[in-house]
Amino acid sequence: MCGIAGTVGIEYSTAAFKLASSFMDVRGPDGEGLWREGGVVLLHRRLSIIDLSEFAAQPMQSSCGRYIVVFNGEIFNYKELRKGIEGDYPFNSNSDTEVVLAYFAKFGPKALDSFRGMFSLAIWDKYKAELFIARDRLGVKPLYYASIDKGFAFASRPQALCALVPGLNRGIDKQALRYFMEAGYVPAPYSIFKGVKKLEPGCYLTVTSQGISQTKYWSIDSVDTDKSIVGVNEDSLLEELDSLINDSVRLRMVSDVPLGAFLSGGIDSTVVAAYMMKHSSEPVRTFTIGFQDQAFDESSYAASVAAHLGTAHTCEMLAVDDLLKLMPTFIKQYDEPFFDYSAFPVMAVSRLAKRSVAVSLSGDGGDEAFGGYHYYRMMAGLQQVHRLPAALRNFVGSILKHAPAQRVRWLARVLESDNPAPAYAFMRGVIKDATHIMKPSLLTSTKSLSQLFAERAALFPVGLSYAEIGMRLDMAYTLPDDYLQKVDVGSMAFSLEARDPLLDHTIIEWAAKLPLEWKLRGGINKYLLRKLAYRHVPREILDRPKMGFGVPMAQWLRGGLRLWGESLLKDDQAFDALELDAQAVRTLWNAHQANQLQAHTALWSVLVMLQFYRSQFQSE
């Protein structure tokens, strides 16, 4: 992985590019390259993974001299692709970057259809004076851009982009702010800055003197489930899935630097590690962090899996509060407001892995593709409830609204909507029924997360089950804008490349057609993927409640983060600028401190936004 940036039609400034480069130094500590011609400048920060020689340095120019590329990520099938065109292109390196150039020179944007990988890239066509930028299908790699007057700029991170564009509108985008407060992330194409956009997953842009055009080259929105698979023999399906995952892992083990895997002991990371062992001549290095507090520790499960598979396993034991030492790194590296506090253990395990390897595989994507989250069972249950008469549902909801238990009151809110998408938005939301912390001026001038989800769900096939709607919405928003950004930024903070075999598009397309019965069955999540995992590790090791990377945020806000939070909550100017209700937030804070309710998710969302505002606008 690397950091990329560039400008077209914007006056060049050495100082601006040096600053932008410095903001991406952890993404590319192994080298820096700059290409400049006319009004075009391309910047690359290199993390050397494949072909460590200078022949693979970027920016890279095609053999014909027409195209210049800066590329972040990996094309995992580059060796196979290269064999298909070696007679047509005089390769000068053994890098996947040059394969990208060769394929684009021959096929243009259609080249993207051949790439199996994670990437964001920019290619300048000298003959046509045209810039092409693209992002991978699932949104593993980030790419931000800005268009001003006759100029255009792009970068891997918003902080670097802001450094490149003088006069860029860095005001807070109200719609992005609303989405962040409700979802905990800013969904593409929005960014927190008015003048900055995020390129959506599976899209590319062409930029010419005539303007900008966007094309979506990949999506599963319209893919329907294949009902004929319901009665298919289970073993035959397992063989298909085995082949897909085996191939994906094999491709992602290509590396010229040491490689390992994150291992939590759950289904997804176990499957990845098991297939890695099949393709390795020596024990695969696996990594996990453990906690002295048993409520958050799953290191024993990872150790059991590692022992069974025979991996070379490393576990670092921490006190949960040790993660708070990563707070400065969190604030610096997550340069767009980011809620997901499981970023702290992601950073910790990335720091651990980097001591031994430069690349680590993970199990990200298994939950969204195969039905892992408890939300999907809740959506399946909601679908059953929605078959009841509306009058009965409304009566039950009116009673539950007044229940003393907070979670029961939330259930009442879910029952209010006949549309599964808004119901799912509420389930996934981080502030739930605390929308009053946003001022009416913000609420009335912006769309809600419920509206965003409903508009996207309208693109899905008619008749898709509620649980499948939840999975597709997670694939569209939660995965790229929350989970994948968490791993990308958290691993890059320590110059570690993370790879996601379960997010190969061949697996995602296959899983999208898989009927719900193969994902949720008899109260079991991830049914088919779980059965595949049992082929490699005994079920008595794997069958346990899902934990994930948890941290005691409720406790932290009453302890280690209390003074930090209180200092931010005194900032009336920030509250006014962000159109948040200071009194409502402070009341919520006091109730949380008194342990009258658990408001840590809503409060953390506010505090992250206040910290971002302070860092961006009050430190200048």
Q: Which amino acid is at 608?
A: V
Mean pLDDT of the region 605-609: 97
Q: Give the pLDDT score at 485.
A: 97
> Where are the domains positioned within the chain?
3-216, 219-548, 552-620
Q: Which residues are catalytic?
A: 2
Among candidates 189, 188, 162, 190, which has minimal Cα distance to 176?
190
Q: Give the pLDDT score at 595.
A: 93
289 annotated ligand binder = yes
Helix (H) or strand (E) holding 466: helix 466-473
The C-alpha atoms of residue 160 and residue 158 are separated, in whole angstroms, by 5
Q: Give the pLDDT score at 404.
A: 67
pLDDT one-digit tens code per residue, 90-112 = 999 999 999 999 999 999 999 99
| β-sheet with 60-61: strand ranges across | 60-61, 67-75, 117-125, 130-135, 203-208, 211-216
Fold match flag (3-216 vs 219-548) = no
CATH architecture of the domain 3-216 equals 4-Layer Sandwich (3.60)
- For 43, 46, 72, 131, 339, the CA distances from 121, given in Å and listed in that order, are 11, 13, 6, 10, 27
Query: Which stretch of 147-151, 209-213, 342-346, 562-566 has the lowest confidence by average pLDDT?
Result: 147-151
pLDDT at 546 over 80: no
Largest CA distance in the chain: 73
Burial of 93 (0-12, 13-18, 19+ CB in 10 A): middle
Whether 263 contacts 307, CB under 8 Å:
no
Average pLDDT of every residue of the chain: 94
Q: HEC string of 170-193? A: CCECHHHHHHHHHHCCCCCCCCCE
The C-alpha atoms of residue 614 and residue 132 are separated, in whole angstroms, by 35
Q: Give the pLDDT score at 87.
A: 87
pLDDT at 368 over 90: yes
Query: Which stretch of 137-141, 481-485, 543-547, 567-571 has the lowest confidence by average pLDDT?
Result: 543-547
pTM of the full structure: 0.95
245 annotated ligand binder = no
Neighbouring CB atoms inside 10 A of 473's CB total: 25
pLDDT at 402 over 80: no
Q: Give the pLDDT score at 408.
A: 64
Q: How confident is the model at residue 25 (pLDDT cuts 50, 70, 90)?
A: very high
Whether 264 contacts 302, CB under 8 Å:
yes
The C-alpha atoms of residue 379 and residue 401 are separated, in whole angstroms, by 19
CATH architecture of the domain 219-548 equals 3-Layer(aba) Sandwich (3.40)
pLDDT one-digit tens code per residue, 100-151 = 999 999 999 999 999 999 999 999 999 999 999 999 999 999 999 999 988 9
Query: Which stretch of 115-119, 164-168, 573-577 has the lowest confidence by average pLDDT?
Result: 164-168
pLDDT one-digit tens code per residue, 438-475 = 999 999 999 999 999 999 999 999 999 999 999 999 99
The C-alpha atoms of residue 328 and residue 323 are separated, in whole angstroms, by 11
DSSP symbol at 476: I
CA-based end-to-end distance of the chain: 31
Q: Give the pLDDT score at 113.
A: 98
Q: Give the pLDDT score at 319.
A: 86
96 annotated ligand binder = yes
